[in-house]
Protein backbone atom coordinates (compact mmCIF):
# COMPACT_ATOMS: atom_id res chain seq x y z
CA UNK A 1 0.00 0.00 0.00
CA UNK A 2 1.38 3.41 -0.87
CA UNK A 3 1.82 5.64 2.17
CA UNK A 4 -0.15 8.90 2.34
CA UNK A 5 1.67 12.02 1.13
CA UNK A 6 3.99 13.56 3.72
CA UNK A 7 2.31 16.86 2.87
CA UNK A 8 -0.92 17.47 1.08
CA UNK A 9 -2.26 20.95 0.42
CA UNK A 10 -5.86 21.28 -0.69
CA UNK A 11 -7.18 24.40 -2.37
CA UNK A 12 -5.05 26.88 -0.41
CA UNK A 13 -5.93 30.54 -1.00
CA UNK A 14 -4.20 33.60 0.43
CA UNK A 15 -4.58 37.28 -0.45
CA UNK A 16 -2.80 40.40 0.70
CA UNK A 17 -5.31 43.16 0.00
CA UNK A 18 -5.88 43.07 -3.76
CA UNK A 19 -2.93 40.71 -4.40
CA UNK A 20 -3.91 37.06 -4.58
CA UNK A 21 -0.59 35.47 -3.63
CA UNK A 22 -1.89 31.88 -3.60
CA UNK A 23 -4.88 30.86 -5.71
CA UNK A 24 -6.49 27.53 -5.04
CA UNK A 25 -3.27 25.60 -4.61
CA UNK A 26 -3.26 21.83 -4.31
CA UNK A 27 -0.07 19.82 -3.96
CA UNK A 28 1.07 16.39 -2.79
CA UNK A 29 4.61 15.70 -1.65
CA UNK A 30 5.45 12.03 -1.12
CA UNK A 31 7.52 10.92 1.88
CA UNK A 32 11.22 10.30 1.34
CA UNK A 33 11.39 12.53 -1.73
CA UNK A 34 13.00 15.85 -2.59
CA UNK A 35 10.41 18.11 -4.14
CA UNK A 36 11.45 21.31 -5.90
CA UNK A 37 9.29 24.42 -6.17
CA UNK A 38 10.13 26.95 -8.84
CA UNK A 39 8.39 30.04 -10.14
CA UNK A 40 8.93 33.62 -11.15
CA UNK A 41 9.48 36.32 -8.57
CA UNK A 42 6.25 37.03 -6.80
CA UNK A 43 4.70 33.74 -7.97
CA UNK A 44 3.75 32.95 -4.36
CA UNK A 45 6.34 30.32 -3.31
CA UNK A 46 7.41 31.93 -0.03
CA UNK A 47 3.81 32.72 0.87
CA UNK A 48 2.84 29.06 0.41
CA UNK A 49 5.76 27.86 2.53
CA UNK A 50 4.99 30.48 5.17
CA UNK A 51 1.47 29.05 5.40
CA UNK A 52 2.89 25.56 5.81
CA UNK A 53 5.22 26.81 8.53
CA UNK A 54 2.50 28.72 10.38
CA UNK A 55 3.72 32.24 9.61
CA UNK A 56 0.64 33.13 7.62
CA UNK A 57 -2.86 31.78 7.95
CA UNK A 58 -4.47 30.69 4.70
CA UNK A 59 -7.77 32.40 3.86
CA UNK A 60 -9.12 28.98 2.96
CA UNK A 61 -7.95 25.46 2.21
CA UNK A 62 -6.62 22.45 4.13
CA UNK A 63 -3.26 21.09 5.14
CA UNK A 64 -2.77 17.35 5.65
CA UNK A 65 0.43 16.04 7.22
CA UNK A 66 0.95 12.29 6.84
CA UNK A 67 -2.67 11.98 5.68
CA UNK A 68 -4.11 13.76 8.71
CA UNK A 69 -5.72 17.18 8.57
CA UNK A 70 -3.53 19.51 10.63
CA UNK A 71 -4.04 23.06 11.85
CA UNK A 72 -0.84 25.11 11.74
CA UNK A 73 -1.63 28.44 13.41
CA UNK A 74 2.02 29.17 14.33
CA UNK A 75 5.54 27.83 13.92
CA UNK A 76 5.32 25.88 17.20
CA UNK A 77 2.49 23.89 15.66
CA UNK A 78 4.55 23.38 12.50
CA UNK A 79 7.47 22.05 14.56
CA UNK A 80 5.08 19.77 16.45
CA UNK A 81 3.82 18.46 13.13
CA UNK A 82 7.44 17.58 12.24
CA UNK A 83 8.13 20.49 9.89
CA UNK A 84 11.44 22.37 9.96
CA UNK A 85 12.33 25.41 7.88
CA UNK A 86 15.68 26.85 6.82
CA UNK A 87 15.20 30.47 5.82
CA UNK A 88 17.23 32.58 3.41
CA UNK A 89 18.16 34.87 6.28
CA UNK A 90 19.18 32.62 9.15
CA UNK A 91 17.50 32.94 12.52
CA UNK A 92 20.53 32.23 14.71
CA UNK A 93 21.79 34.18 17.72
CA UNK A 94 25.19 35.36 16.53
CA UNK A 95 26.99 35.51 19.86
CA UNK A 96 25.67 32.18 21.13
CA UNK A 97 27.42 28.87 20.53
CA UNK A 98 26.19 26.23 18.10
CA UNK A 99 24.94 24.09 20.98
CA UNK A 100 23.10 27.00 22.61
CA UNK A 101 21.42 27.88 19.33
CA UNK A 102 20.33 24.32 18.70
CA UNK A 103 18.89 23.88 22.18
CA UNK A 104 17.32 27.35 22.38
CA UNK A 105 13.54 27.08 22.35
CA UNK A 106 13.65 23.27 22.38
CA UNK A 107 14.32 22.90 26.12
CA UNK A 108 12.09 20.42 27.91
CA UNK A 109 10.16 21.44 31.02
CA UNK A 110 12.25 22.18 34.09
CA UNK A 111 11.92 18.65 35.53
CA UNK A 112 12.64 16.88 32.28
CA UNK A 113 15.26 19.34 31.21
CA UNK A 114 18.07 17.41 29.57
CA UNK A 115 21.49 18.26 30.77
CA UNK A 116 23.53 20.19 28.27
CA UNK A 117 25.81 17.16 28.19
CA UNK A 118 22.95 15.05 26.83
CA UNK A 119 22.00 17.71 24.32
CA UNK A 120 25.63 17.90 23.25
CA UNK A 121 25.74 14.14 22.71
CA UNK A 122 22.55 14.18 20.68
CA UNK A 123 23.79 17.08 18.57
CA UNK A 124 27.17 15.44 17.98
CA UNK A 125 25.45 12.21 16.92
CA UNK A 126 23.21 14.06 14.49
CA UNK A 127 26.13 16.00 13.06
CA UNK A 128 28.10 12.78 12.58
CA UNK A 129 25.20 10.85 11.05
CA UNK A 130 24.54 13.53 8.47
CA UNK A 131 28.16 14.56 7.77
CA UNK A 132 27.73 18.02 9.23
CA UNK A 133 31.05 18.67 10.79
CA UNK A 134 30.38 21.57 13.21
CA UNK A 135 31.96 22.33 16.57
CA UNK A 136 29.18 22.55 19.21
CA UNK A 137 31.16 25.20 21.11
CA UNK A 138 31.95 27.49 18.17
CA UNK A 139 30.25 30.89 18.22
CA UNK A 140 27.86 31.41 15.31
CA UNK A 141 29.54 34.68 14.34
CA UNK A 142 32.82 32.83 13.80
CA UNK A 143 31.32 30.29 11.39
CA UNK A 144 31.17 30.48 7.61
CA UNK A 145 27.75 30.93 6.04
CA UNK A 146 27.78 27.28 4.96
CA UNK A 147 28.38 26.12 8.53
CA UNK A 148 25.70 28.47 9.87
CA UNK A 149 23.28 26.86 7.47
CA UNK A 150 24.23 23.43 8.79
CA UNK A 151 23.40 24.66 12.28
CA UNK A 152 19.94 25.65 11.02
CA UNK A 153 19.46 22.16 9.60
CA UNK A 154 20.71 20.56 12.83
CA UNK A 155 18.33 22.74 14.77
CA UNK A 156 15.42 21.36 12.75
CA UNK A 157 16.66 17.77 13.09
CA UNK A 158 17.15 18.22 16.83
CA UNK A 159 13.45 19.12 16.98
CA UNK A 160 12.78 15.86 15.14
CA UNK A 161 11.69 17.37 11.86
CA UNK A 162 10.62 14.82 9.26
CA UNK A 163 9.88 17.45 6.68
CA UNK A 164 12.46 20.09 5.88
CA UNK A 165 11.71 23.20 3.83
CA UNK A 166 14.68 25.09 2.39
CA UNK A 167 14.08 28.52 0.83
CA UNK A 168 16.81 29.32 -1.72
CA UNK A 169 19.48 27.65 0.38
CA UNK A 170 22.42 27.97 -2.02
CA UNK A 171 22.14 31.71 -2.70
CA UNK A 172 24.91 32.46 -0.24
CA UNK A 173 27.02 29.30 -0.63
CA UNK A 174 30.19 28.59 -2.58
CA UNK A 175 29.98 25.78 -5.16
CA UNK A 176 31.79 23.43 -2.76
CA UNK A 177 29.43 24.33 0.10
CA UNK A 178 26.43 23.80 -2.17
CA UNK A 179 27.76 20.34 -3.11
CA UNK A 180 28.13 19.53 0.56
CA UNK A 181 24.58 20.71 1.26
CA UNK A 182 23.30 18.42 -1.47
CA UNK A 183 25.16 15.48 0.06
CA UNK A 184 23.46 16.27 3.35
CA UNK A 185 20.06 16.46 1.66
CA UNK A 186 20.62 13.11 -0.07
CA UNK A 187 21.54 11.63 3.31
CA UNK A 188 18.34 12.98 4.84
CA UNK A 189 16.29 11.59 1.98
CA UNK A 190 17.92 8.17 2.42
CA UNK A 191 16.71 8.29 6.04
CA UNK A 192 13.17 8.78 4.79
CA UNK A 193 12.91 12.54 5.40
CA UNK A 194 10.90 14.67 3.01
CA UNK A 195 12.46 17.81 1.61
CA UNK A 196 10.96 20.82 -0.14
CA UNK A 197 13.48 22.95 -1.97
CA UNK A 198 12.63 26.40 -3.30
CA UNK A 199 15.22 27.56 -5.79
CA UNK A 200 15.65 29.67 -8.90
CA UNK A 201 18.53 27.50 -10.05
CA UNK A 202 17.32 24.92 -12.53
CA UNK A 203 20.66 23.12 -12.37
CA UNK A 204 19.92 22.34 -8.73
CA UNK A 205 16.42 21.16 -9.53
CA UNK A 206 17.81 18.78 -12.14
CA UNK A 207 20.57 17.55 -9.85
CA UNK A 208 18.75 16.82 -6.65
CA UNK A 209 14.97 16.74 -6.89
CA UNK A 210 12.65 13.82 -7.65
CA UNK A 211 9.66 15.94 -8.57
CA UNK A 212 9.19 19.61 -9.28
CA UNK A 213 6.21 21.93 -9.11
CA UNK A 214 5.92 25.15 -11.05
CA UNK A 215 4.10 28.21 -9.71
CA UNK A 216 2.89 31.03 -11.91
CA UNK A 217 1.16 34.16 -10.73
CA UNK A 218 -0.17 32.58 -7.58
CA UNK A 219 -1.20 29.27 -9.12
CA UNK A 220 0.41 25.86 -9.09
CA UNK A 221 0.49 25.21 -12.81
CA UNK A 222 2.49 21.97 -13.18
CA UNK A 223 3.98 19.14 -11.19
CA UNK A 224 6.35 16.88 -13.13
CA UNK A 225 8.91 14.15 -12.49
CA UNK A 226 12.36 15.70 -12.71
CA UNK A 227 13.64 12.82 -14.85
CA UNK A 228 11.00 13.66 -17.45
CA UNK A 229 11.86 17.34 -17.91
CA UNK A 230 14.78 19.61 -18.83
CA UNK A 231 16.00 23.06 -17.73
CA UNK A 232 14.70 24.61 -20.95
CA UNK A 233 11.30 22.96 -20.52
CA UNK A 234 11.07 24.12 -16.89
CA UNK A 235 12.11 27.67 -17.80
CA UNK A 236 9.36 27.82 -20.40
CA UNK A 237 6.74 26.38 -18.05
CA UNK A 238 7.73 28.97 -15.46
CA UNK A 239 7.88 32.07 -17.61
CA UNK A 240 5.49 31.08 -20.38
CA UNK A 241 7.99 31.78 -23.18
CA UNK A 242 11.41 30.67 -24.38
CA UNK A 243 14.21 31.87 -22.13
CA UNK A 244 17.81 32.43 -23.13
CA UNK A 245 19.78 30.47 -20.58
CA UNK A 246 23.13 31.95 -21.73
CA UNK A 247 24.12 35.60 -22.04
CA UNK A 248 24.12 36.75 -25.64
CA UNK A 249 26.82 39.38 -26.04
CA UNK A 250 29.35 40.58 -28.59
CA UNK A 251 33.04 40.82 -27.62
CA UNK A 252 33.79 43.94 -25.59
CA UNK A 253 35.38 46.94 -27.24
CA UNK A 254 37.02 48.59 -24.24
CA UNK A 255 37.81 52.29 -24.50
CA UNK A 256 39.64 54.60 -22.14
CA UNK A 257 40.23 53.76 -18.50
CA UNK A 258 37.28 54.90 -16.39
CA UNK A 259 38.25 53.52 -12.99
CA UNK A 260 41.76 53.10 -11.71
CA UNK A 261 42.39 51.75 -8.23
CA UNK A 262 45.86 51.65 -6.65
CA UNK A 263 46.94 50.11 -3.38
CA UNK A 264 43.49 50.33 -1.82
CA UNK A 265 43.48 49.40 1.85
CA UNK A 266 40.73 49.17 4.45
CA UNK A 267 41.06 48.27 8.11
CA UNK A 268 37.89 47.48 10.05
CA UNK A 269 36.91 48.50 13.60
CA UNK A 270 38.62 45.40 15.05
CA UNK A 271 41.89 46.31 13.38
CA UNK A 272 41.56 43.58 10.72
CA UNK A 273 42.81 44.55 7.29
CA UNK A 274 39.87 43.85 4.95
CA UNK A 275 41.50 45.16 1.76
CA UNK A 276 45.23 44.60 1.52
CA UNK A 277 46.42 46.66 -1.40
CA UNK A 278 43.97 46.29 -4.31
CA UNK A 279 45.06 47.38 -7.79
CA UNK A 280 42.61 47.24 -10.67
CA UNK A 281 41.28 49.12 -13.66
CA UNK A 282 37.95 49.10 -15.48
CA UNK A 283 37.66 50.61 -18.91
CA UNK A 284 34.71 52.11 -20.74
CA UNK A 285 32.67 49.43 -22.49
CA UNK A 286 33.96 46.67 -20.26
CA UNK A 287 32.64 44.44 -17.47
CA UNK A 288 35.19 43.47 -14.86
CA UNK A 289 33.82 40.61 -12.78
CA UNK A 290 35.11 40.02 -9.27
CA UNK A 291 34.77 36.39 -8.20
CA UNK A 292 35.27 35.29 -4.62
CA UNK A 293 33.75 33.58 -1.63
CA UNK A 294 31.61 36.07 0.28
CA UNK A 295 33.61 37.85 2.96
CA UNK A 296 36.94 38.13 1.15
CA UNK A 297 36.78 41.88 0.67
CA UNK A 298 34.52 42.23 -2.37
CA UNK A 299 31.83 44.00 -0.34
CA UNK A 300 34.41 46.34 1.17
CA UNK A 301 35.66 47.18 -2.32
CA UNK A 302 32.16 48.06 -3.51
CA UNK A 303 31.48 50.02 -0.31
CA UNK A 304 34.66 52.09 -0.68
CA UNK A 305 34.01 52.87 -4.33
CA UNK A 306 30.35 53.60 -3.56
CA UNK A 307 31.30 56.09 -0.83
CA UNK A 308 30.05 54.07 2.14
CA UNK A 309 33.39 53.20 3.71
CA UNK A 310 36.69 55.08 4.12
CA UNK A 311 39.97 53.72 2.79
CA UNK A 312 43.52 54.65 1.92
CA UNK A 313 45.14 54.41 -1.48
CA UNK A 314 44.40 56.15 -4.76
CA UNK A 315 41.28 55.95 -6.92
CA UNK A 316 40.60 57.92 -10.08
CA UNK A 317 37.41 58.14 -12.07
CA UNK A 318 37.94 59.45 -15.60
CA UNK A 319 41.39 60.63 -14.47
CA UNK A 320 40.00 62.72 -11.58
CA UNK A 321 41.06 61.66 -8.07
CA UNK A 322 38.27 60.55 -5.69
CA UNK A 323 38.47 61.34 -1.96
CA UNK A 324 38.62 58.15 0.05
CA UNK A 325 37.85 59.63 3.46
CA UNK A 326 36.38 62.77 4.97
CA UNK A 327 34.42 65.43 3.05
CA UNK A 328 33.59 64.62 -0.54
CA UNK A 329 33.98 60.86 -0.06
CA UNK A 330 30.34 60.01 0.62
CA UNK A 331 27.76 58.23 -1.53
CA UNK A 332 26.24 61.49 -2.70
CA UNK A 333 29.59 62.73 -3.95
CA UNK A 334 30.13 59.45 -5.76
CA UNK A 335 26.74 59.68 -7.48
CA UNK A 336 27.56 63.21 -8.61
CA UNK A 337 30.87 61.98 -9.97
CA UNK A 338 29.01 59.43 -12.13
CA UNK A 339 29.13 56.24 -10.04
CA UNK A 340 25.95 54.34 -9.26
CA UNK A 341 25.79 51.39 -6.91
CA UNK A 342 23.58 48.33 -6.60
CA UNK A 343 24.58 47.11 -3.13
CA UNK A 344 24.83 43.42 -2.35
CA UNK A 345 22.39 43.62 0.54
CA UNK A 346 19.22 45.19 -0.78
CA UNK A 347 17.53 45.22 2.62
CA UNK A 348 20.32 46.95 4.51
CA UNK A 349 21.57 49.39 1.87
CA UNK A 350 19.39 49.29 -1.23
CA UNK A 351 15.93 50.09 0.08
CA UNK A 352 14.04 51.58 2.97
CA UNK A 353 11.55 48.78 3.40
CA UNK A 354 8.78 50.83 4.99
CA UNK A 355 8.89 53.42 2.23
CA UNK A 356 6.87 53.18 -0.95
CA UNK A 357 8.29 51.98 -4.26
CA UNK A 358 8.24 55.50 -5.75
CA UNK A 359 10.10 56.91 -2.76
CA UNK A 360 12.69 54.16 -3.03
CA UNK A 361 13.12 54.77 -6.74
CA UNK A 362 14.00 58.38 -6.03
CA UNK A 363 16.47 57.81 -3.19
CA UNK A 364 19.78 59.46 -3.82
CA UNK A 365 18.48 61.22 -6.91
CA UNK A 366 15.69 63.30 -5.33
CA UNK A 367 17.54 66.58 -5.93
CA UNK A 368 17.88 66.05 -9.69
CA UNK A 369 16.11 68.89 -11.55
CA UNK A 370 13.68 66.44 -13.19
CA UNK A 371 12.36 65.44 -9.75
CA UNK A 372 12.09 69.02 -8.36
CA UNK A 373 9.76 71.93 -8.62
CA UNK A 374 11.66 74.90 -7.31
CA UNK A 375 12.99 73.92 -3.93
CA UNK A 376 10.39 71.20 -3.41
CA UNK A 377 10.45 67.59 -4.49
CA UNK A 378 8.02 66.92 -7.31
CA UNK A 379 6.30 63.80 -6.01
CA UNK A 380 4.17 63.48 -9.10
CA UNK A 381 7.19 63.44 -11.38
CA UNK A 382 8.81 60.83 -9.16
CA UNK A 383 5.69 58.67 -9.16
CA UNK A 384 5.39 58.87 -12.94
CA UNK A 385 9.05 58.06 -13.34
CA UNK A 386 8.66 55.05 -11.03
CA UNK A 387 5.63 53.95 -13.00
CA UNK A 388 7.68 53.89 -16.20
CA UNK A 389 10.61 52.14 -14.54
CA UNK A 390 8.31 49.50 -13.08
CA UNK A 391 6.92 48.84 -16.55
CA UNK A 392 10.37 48.57 -18.12
CA UNK A 393 11.70 46.28 -15.38
CA UNK A 394 8.43 44.33 -15.11
CA UNK A 395 8.11 44.90 -11.36
CA UNK A 396 5.09 43.05 -9.99
CA UNK A 397 2.69 44.15 -8.69
CA UNK A 398 2.94 47.28 -10.79
CA UNK A 399 2.07 49.63 -7.93
CA UNK A 400 4.36 52.61 -7.14
CA UNK A 401 2.46 53.17 -3.88
CA UNK A 402 3.16 49.74 -2.39
CA UNK A 403 5.74 49.69 0.42
CA UNK A 404 9.05 48.07 -0.56
CA UNK A 405 8.63 45.41 2.15
CA UNK A 406 5.50 44.10 0.46
CA UNK A 407 7.23 43.17 -2.79
CA UNK A 408 8.73 39.71 -3.17
CA UNK A 409 12.53 39.51 -2.92
CA UNK A 410 13.17 39.44 -6.66
CA UNK A 411 10.86 42.37 -7.31
CA UNK A 412 12.61 44.39 -4.59
CA UNK A 413 15.85 43.70 -6.42
CA UNK A 414 14.37 45.00 -9.68
CA UNK A 415 13.40 48.28 -7.98
CA UNK A 416 17.01 48.85 -6.90
CA UNK A 417 18.36 47.83 -10.31
CA UNK A 418 15.98 50.12 -12.17
CA UNK A 419 17.06 53.07 -10.02
CA UNK A 420 20.79 52.53 -10.43
CA UNK A 421 21.00 51.26 -14.02
CA UNK A 422 18.77 54.00 -15.38
CA UNK A 423 20.72 56.75 -13.62
CA UNK A 424 23.10 56.68 -16.61
CA UNK A 425 26.36 56.17 -14.75
CA UNK A 426 29.93 56.26 -16.09
CA UNK A 427 30.68 53.45 -13.68
CA UNK A 428 28.12 50.98 -12.37
CA UNK A 429 29.05 49.08 -9.22
CA UNK A 430 26.83 46.06 -9.06
CA UNK A 431 26.86 43.45 -6.27
CA UNK A 432 25.02 40.12 -6.59
CA UNK A 433 22.70 41.55 -9.28
CA UNK A 434 20.51 38.49 -9.59
CA UNK A 435 20.39 37.19 -6.02
CA UNK A 436 16.92 35.75 -5.50
CA UNK A 437 15.88 36.72 -9.02
CA UNK A 438 13.97 34.36 -11.32
CA UNK A 439 15.31 33.03 -14.58
CA UNK A 440 13.28 35.29 -16.87
CA UNK A 441 14.36 38.32 -14.89
CA UNK A 442 18.00 37.18 -14.88
CA UNK A 443 17.92 37.14 -18.67
CA UNK A 444 16.49 40.66 -18.64
CA UNK A 445 18.95 42.00 -16.06
CA UNK A 446 21.93 40.51 -17.88
CA UNK A 447 20.74 42.11 -21.11
CA UNK A 448 20.46 45.52 -19.39
CA UNK A 449 23.98 45.20 -18.00
CA UNK A 450 25.38 44.27 -21.41
CA UNK A 451 23.49 47.17 -23.02
CA UNK A 452 25.02 49.55 -20.52
CA UNK A 453 28.46 48.15 -21.37
CA UNK A 454 27.77 48.49 -25.09
CA UNK A 455 26.79 52.11 -24.48
CA UNK A 456 30.40 52.62 -23.37
CA UNK A 457 29.95 52.44 -19.60
CA UNK A 458 32.33 50.75 -17.19
CA UNK A 459 30.91 48.01 -14.97
CA UNK A 460 32.36 46.45 -11.87
CA UNK A 461 30.42 43.29 -11.10
CA UNK A 462 30.69 41.34 -7.86
CA UNK A 463 28.99 37.98 -7.74
CA UNK A 464 29.35 34.70 -5.89
CA UNK A 465 27.67 32.95 -8.84
CA UNK A 466 30.51 31.65 -10.97
CA UNK A 467 28.34 31.03 -14.01
CA UNK A 468 27.16 34.63 -13.83
CA UNK A 469 30.77 35.85 -13.57
CA UNK A 470 31.88 33.60 -16.42
CA UNK A 471 29.07 34.51 -18.79
CA UNK A 472 28.85 38.24 -18.11
CA UNK A 473 32.44 39.41 -17.51
CA UNK A 474 34.94 40.51 -20.13
CA UNK A 475 37.74 40.05 -17.59
CA UNK A 476 37.65 38.26 -14.25
CA UNK A 477 39.61 39.14 -11.11
CA UNK A 478 39.52 36.69 -8.20
CA UNK A 479 39.60 38.02 -4.65
CA UNK A 480 40.81 36.10 -1.66
CA UNK A 481 41.53 37.44 1.82
CA UNK A 482 41.49 41.10 0.78
CA UNK A 483 43.78 40.62 -2.21
CA UNK A 484 43.40 40.03 -5.92
CA UNK A 485 44.69 36.50 -6.53
CA UNK A 486 44.92 37.00 -10.26
CA UNK A 487 43.06 37.91 -13.41
CA UNK A 488 41.70 35.60 -16.08
CA UNK A 489 39.81 35.89 -19.35
CA UNK A 490 36.47 34.07 -19.27
CA UNK A 491 37.24 31.98 -22.36
CA UNK A 492 40.52 30.83 -20.85
CA UNK A 493 39.38 29.66 -17.44
CA UNK A 494 36.65 27.56 -15.86
CA UNK A 495 34.79 27.06 -12.60
CA UNK A 496 37.41 24.65 -11.28
CA UNK A 497 40.30 27.05 -11.70
CA UNK A 498 38.32 29.99 -10.36
CA UNK A 499 37.20 27.84 -7.42
CA UNK A 500 40.84 27.06 -6.56
CA UNK A 501 41.82 30.71 -6.76
CA UNK A 502 38.83 31.63 -4.60
CA UNK A 503 40.20 29.26 -1.97
CA UNK A 504 43.55 31.06 -2.03
CA UNK A 505 45.38 28.72 -4.38
CA UNK A 506 47.23 29.86 -7.43
CA UNK A 507 45.19 28.16 -10.17
CA UNK A 508 46.99 27.54 -13.45
CA UNK A 509 49.67 29.88 -14.67
CA UNK A 510 48.20 32.98 -16.25
Ligand X SMILES: Nc1ncnc2c1ncn2[C@@H]1O[C@H](COP(=O)(O)OP(=O)(O)OP(=O)(O)O)[C@@H](O)[C@H]1O
Within a 10 A sphere around the Cβ of 487, how many other Cβ atoms?
A: 14
Tell me: does residue 171 bind ligand X (CB under 6 A): no
Among 9, 27, 38, 43, binds ligand X (CB under 6 A): 43
In the bound state with ligand X, the residue whose beta carbon lies nearer, of 316 and 406, is: 406
Tell me: does residue 408 bind ligand X (CB under 6 A): yes
Please state the closest distance from residue 245 (CB atom) to ligand X, in A: 18
Tell me how far apart the alpha carbons of residues 212 and 196 are, in angstroms, rounded to a whole number. Answer: 9
Tell me how far apart the alpha carbons of residues 391 and 397 are, in angstroms, rounded to a whole number. Answer: 10
Tell me: does residue 346 bind ligand X (CB under 6 A): no
CA 141 to chain CA mean position, Å: 19
Please state the closest distance from residue 233 (CB atom) to ligand X, in A: 20
Tell me: does residue 39 bind ligand X (CB under 6 A): yes
Among 33, 47, 149, 226, binds ligand X (CB under 6 A): 47
Q: Report yes or no: 25 and 48 within 8 Å, Cβ to Cβ.
A: yes
Please state the closest distance from residue 43 (CB atom) to ligand X, in A: 4
Among 12, 27, 33, 41, binds ligand X (CB under 6 A): 41
Among 397, 447, 495, 503, binds ligand X (CB under 6 A): 397
Which of these ranges, 223-231, 290-298, 312-320, 409-417, lies near ligand X under the rule CB under 6 A? 409-417
Helix, strand, coil distribution of the chain in percent, nearest 5: 35, 25, 40
Please state the closest distance from residue 412 (CB atom) to ligand X, in A: 8
* Total number of residues shown for the chain: 510
Which of these ranges, 44-52, 123-131, 144-152, 182-190, lies near ligand X under the rule CB under 6 A? 44-52
Sheet containing 34-39: order of strands: 83-86, 163-167, 194-198, 34-39, 211-216, 219-225
Tell me how far apart the alpha carbons of residues 252 and 458 are, in angstroms, rounded to a whole number. Answer: 11
Q: Report yes or no: 260 and 315 within 8 Å, Cβ to Cβ.
A: yes
Q: Of 94, 475, 502, give the one whose Cα is nearest residue 294.
A: 502
Q: Of 336, 318, 321, 335, give the one whose Cα is nearest residue 257.
A: 318
Among 323, 366, 406, 447, binds ligand X (CB under 6 A): 406
Which of these ranges, 37-45, 116-124, 156-164, 365-373, lies near ligand X under the rule CB under 6 A? 37-45
Tell me: does residue 45 bind ligand X (CB under 6 A): yes
Tell me: does residue 407 bind ligand X (CB under 6 A): yes
What SS3 class is residue 411?
A: helix
Query: Which residues inside 411-470 make contact with ligand X, applying CB under 6 A?
Result: 411, 436, 438
Give contact residues for ligand X (rule: CB under 6 A). 16, 19, 21, 39, 41-47, 396-397, 406-411, 436, 438
Amino acid sequence: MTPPPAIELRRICKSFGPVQANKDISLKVMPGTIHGIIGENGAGKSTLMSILYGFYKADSGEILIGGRETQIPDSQAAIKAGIGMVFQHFKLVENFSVLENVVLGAEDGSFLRPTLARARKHLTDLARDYEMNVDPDAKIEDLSVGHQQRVEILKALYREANILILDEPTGVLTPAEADHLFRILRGLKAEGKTIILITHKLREIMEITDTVSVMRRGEMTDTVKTAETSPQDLAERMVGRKVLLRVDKAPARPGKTVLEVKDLRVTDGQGVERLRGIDLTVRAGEILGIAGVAGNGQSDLLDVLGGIRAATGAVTLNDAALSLSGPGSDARARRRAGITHVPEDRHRLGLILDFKAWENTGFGYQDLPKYCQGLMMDNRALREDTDAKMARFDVRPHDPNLAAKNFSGGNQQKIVLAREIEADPDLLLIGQPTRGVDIGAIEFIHQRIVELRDAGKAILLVSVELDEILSLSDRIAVMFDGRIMGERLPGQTDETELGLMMAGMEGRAA
